[in-house]
Amino acid sequence: MKFNALLLMALLCFAISANAQEISDTKFGKGMINFVAKDSSFSVKFAPRFQFNSYTSWQHEDGKYQTGFNNMLIRRARLKFDGFAVTPKLRYKLELGLSNRDISGADAFNNNTPRYVMDAVIMWNFFENFELWVGQTKLPGNIERVVSSGNLSLVDRSILNSRFNIDRDVGFQIRHLTRIGKTMVTREKFSFSQGEGRNQTVGNLGGHQYTARVEFLPFGLFESGGDYVEADLKREPTPKLMFAAGFNINTDAVRVRGNQGAYMITDQGYHQTDVSAIFIDAMFKYRGFSLMAEYADRTADDPIARDSDGTPTGFVVLEGSSVNFHAGYALKSNYEFVGRFTTVDYDEVVGGGSETQYTFGINKYFVGHKLKVQTDFTYGERDNLKDFLMWRLGFDLHF
């Protein structure tokens, strides 16, 4: 309650201050408030957003599908701030999460407090095409995770992402852009981070996390950063392609998914092992057609946590691999038809087997991704488990 009251007061003070001075660009989808100081020493853009989702599933049992669950929730509710300080070469981003799903995960490792902070990062263009990022933000991992949840063309991300993404962490990133000839571009991204995910306050329990990603764009940059936006709403007039490969290693990791998941507690403290992940992905767009493809693989040097007498504790690093194909076609009427195929193969250490999902969706974009209605239908199957059907409906509003 105290945090919410302080946040509300801060927003009211900001709104009053902004209204008393110059405000620019109040068009819907460009931020609720865009404020630039008169001496151009800083700027602030404020953009709240939320997503409403409804889920209904049916489990295959006794020769027919039985209703499994029906749930409606505010999937995401965010307050986003960004701008520059002192110089346009020094940018920042602050994003706060307010929904239950955004702030869940309170435990002893973050002082049993809600995890409000999603992103808090400073981005400094310190030399030519080099940028230094400092703070908490997404690591340069699989493309689907780095795409904002507000720019998805299905109601939610795939099971490749939920099983293998490396999400956010606190640390440093160096990013660089290289131009080759008239059109070709490469982008190099390197990260050094704490290795235990966002909003951790107890210090470093394991080693650290190192991430590298290289992106190749043979036909030049996408319209409006479209390589990290699902759906070709800009209807690229010429073919655009991004192909990328990344590697992540979390040394002496203490969580079952590297920097995510449960902590591997033993009678001696924490089980530690090096956890490595490989990502290969691509994004292609042309005249309303979009295609995203991903491959992910995770391995660990010693995946099974054991007590001092050799007894397994039940904590196991989630090893395996996954592929994800996602294609869509956006009509000029701003309707889009989308299909996705995702499969995961689990290593024997976590029980083996595979999991596959087929998803088909239809979207209506009123103001691009800023105001849209989405619905999709999924058929899923996994070895030794019941098949299931799932229908989802989503509504997204982003100032």
Among the residue ranges 14-28, 223-237, 244-258, 307-321, the one predicted with the least confidence is 14-28
pLDDT tens for 334-355 read 999 999 999 999 999 998 999 9
Instruction: For the chain, give the mean pLDDT.
Output: 92
- pLDDT value for 19: 52
* Position 68, amino acid: G
- pLDDT value for 9: 47
- State the Cα angle at 35 between 32 and 37, rounded to 5°: 175
- pLDDT value for 6: 47
Pairing of strands 335-346, 320-330: antiparallel
Mean pLDDT in residue range 258-285: 96
- pLDDT value for 5: 46
Higher pLDDT, 317 or 204: 317
Among the residue ranges 15-29, 103-117, 208-222, 319-333, the one predicted with the least confidence is 15-29
Among the residue ranges 100-109, 223-232, 276-285, 340-349, the one predicted with the least confidence is 100-109
pLDDT tens for 350-377 read 989 999 999 999 999 999 999 999 999 9
**Domain locations along the chain:** 2-398
pLDDT tens for 376-391 read 999 999 887 779 999 9
pLDDT at 250 over 60: yes
pLDDT tens for 255-265 read 999 999 999 99
- pLDDT value for 260: 94
- pLDDT value for 386: 77
Calpha distance 153→229 (Å, rounded):
9
In percent, the amount of the chain with pLDDT more than 70 equals 93
CATH of domain 2-398: 2.40.160.10
pLDDT at 100 over 80: yes
* Position 16, amino acid: I
pLDDT band at 14 (very low <50, low <70, confident <90, very high): low
pLDDT at 67 over 90: no
pLDDT at 45 over 80: yes
Give me the residue label for tokens 């939610």: 156
